[in-house]
Structure 1
């Protein structure tokens, strides 16, 4: 089970049409855990409702965290609960921060945000500015009114390009990402169609230049292996069979083996597990191509096995 701490909603602001920004402070008054740009937390909204949100405040502030939450009209209830139930003074359980979208040092950055995808990029932009690095942000949204934190970003002047779709059409990614420059990293977050377009526009960049974070899992093809396979737990020597239609995580739970997990869709990173032997069928939305090729770790909530057996560090 994931470890949680209690926080209180200190401030609630309508950051844009359909977006609420919550400032969270520790319920016990102590300092909050440290975090770095790109990190997210789990909010345990009810016993059966947990959602992940990016931290978008100042990592140096150990007294408060900030998150931005878009009301997803077609969502599964998490964002609606935040919008409808969490008011100033509300207490909620949150996990310690985790970071699957690490911000690396570089001479220059190209940031691309779509809608609520601006949230993990805000502390990255502040860090790039503080480090004296060159950077620009291309920020798109359906309308200007739907784009959160624009006032905050306006202070950066010409470094930020606001691009509401109803005013300018789709983002011109070919122009923005057309020129490959040494020492440049690209960070992108937003809806899946935008991220696919970014990946396509970065085909000519070095594979290590682009970093993306997805809020929803990529569409999955059928597993490489349709049959059952065995998972050997190296620490205990126990072997668990994973049948078709069940994840490794589910099979382990059925066998009485508890592993930390949260999203169960390959986006949060909680269940990352070291692979000691065997070839995973990577089906997550987190690992880079190089990380998948290395087969050092896998996310057992969605990923499977290409062969008949996997040995995991469990």
Structure 2
């Protein structure tokens, strides 16, 4: 156990050893725990700074659980890459919540994590008491997803951490002019693990196969019916002003269909905004506290 968090391992329905980080301690019934769900190729580490801020808040500390999906971070790789789907991953999260005894929580999902939140709204609606969608909505822009696929397929192999930072800036810097050198270094640390002295992307490389079958010449399927499942709970939607995945049109339509939605657009960032920057920890904490005051428990 570290000073900031403890590692938690549990078993999926098909026997994989899955991992999550737990920050803070069990608190009273009036304090919602927070469940953090990362992006497609990301892991629990991307929420570290946000989780610290929420779990160590001087006025209202709360328990935070950040999950590694199968094939990412410290979770076991799946022998069958076809199981790297939103549906299976949502089932894994539900299993983890059951083992942890978390009946309901506020959920924060970045990109893929937001899709899993919408899946949970359909399969386990009682678990959701508030939700934060970070740069994701019911309509995914094909060009943005194609860019992600291209990057994952052609991702260079850096020889050192310093080179990894330079590569991240080179590929994504135009969409993220607001980030400082410290932001880039911290973010890069969340993406790689060190293996034989070299940084290695911390996900199963076969994850790319799940994107290779997508035909970007055809319109992308939408998830408006799943989004409707969030209508009964407080919802905070965050969009990077330079996002290629979540359009301003979809962002506006989300607000129209969910009248109680709170919206934040983050200047100088693309897909997806870093949740520890731009005063987002304070604003997310305030959003969750307002959900609690509304009696959504």
**TM-score normalised according to structure 2 size:** 0.28
Q: Which is helix-richer, 1 or 2?
A: 2
* Greater length-normalized contact order (CA 8 Å, ≥ 6 residues apart): 2
Of Structure 1 and Structure 2, which has the larger fraction of its residues in strand?
1
